[in-house]
Structure 1
Amino acid sequence: MAVTHDEVEMEDFQYDEDSETHFYPCPCGDIFPITKEDQFMRGETVAAPSASKELVKC
């Protein structure tokens, strides 16, 4: 399995002030959002990843 990734600087992201979210377009056509951690985690419980599950590829 080949792993391909790019390092992206925060300056390359677009920023939406209303949602306080940074967005970056993926070459596959998807968009990666990055939000403030307190907004992302508010009221959520995240389980640790299972070693038997495959990560989602873009």
Structure 2
Amino acid sequence: MSIYDEIEIEDLTFDKTLQIYHYPCPCGDRFEIAIDDLRDGQDIAVCPSCSLMIKVIFDKDDLPKPEEPDQTQGQQQVIAAAA
């Protein structure tokens, strides 16, 4: 496995909707890695268009916390169904 570069996580962009970090690749596409993969200890982001890979330098404790399901929304649905 050949690593193109090592990049600090602060230099990657986080897409909250897709829950992925991405970083521009020299080929014109971008390296991508899911936040769940980072939480599982994986640190290699891959470009889907070419064979390049980067190593993401990060501290697992500094990753955004998983969002909890919205409890109030579920309660509102139960109350509406009971009415």
Q: TM-score range by the shorter chain?
A: 0.5 to 0.7
Structure 1 residue 57: deviation in Å?
A: 2.8
Tell me the matched-pair count: 38
Residue matched to 1:21: 20
**Structure 1 residues 9 and 29, CA gap change in structure 2 (3 angstroms):** same
Q: Per-residue CA shift, 1:1-58, capped at 9, x if unaligned?
A: xx67221111110001111110011112121111023xxxxxxxxxxxxxxxxxx634
**Percent identity of equivalent pairs:** 39
Q: Which has the higher contact order (CA 8 A, sep 6+)?
A: 2
Larger radius of gyration: 2
Structure 2 residue ranges without an equivalent (≥5)? 38-49, 53-83
Would you tell me which structure has more strand in proportion to its own residues? Answer: 2
Would you tell me which structure has more helix in proportion to its own residues? Answer: 2
**Structure-1-length-normalised TM-score:** 0.52
Residue in structure 1 matching 2:51, options 48, 54, 57: 57
Residue matched to 2:5: 6
Structure 1 residue ranges without an equivalent (≥5)? 38-55
**Structure-2-length-normalised TM-score:** 0.39
Moved segments of 4+, more than 2 Å: none
Residue matched to 1:43: none
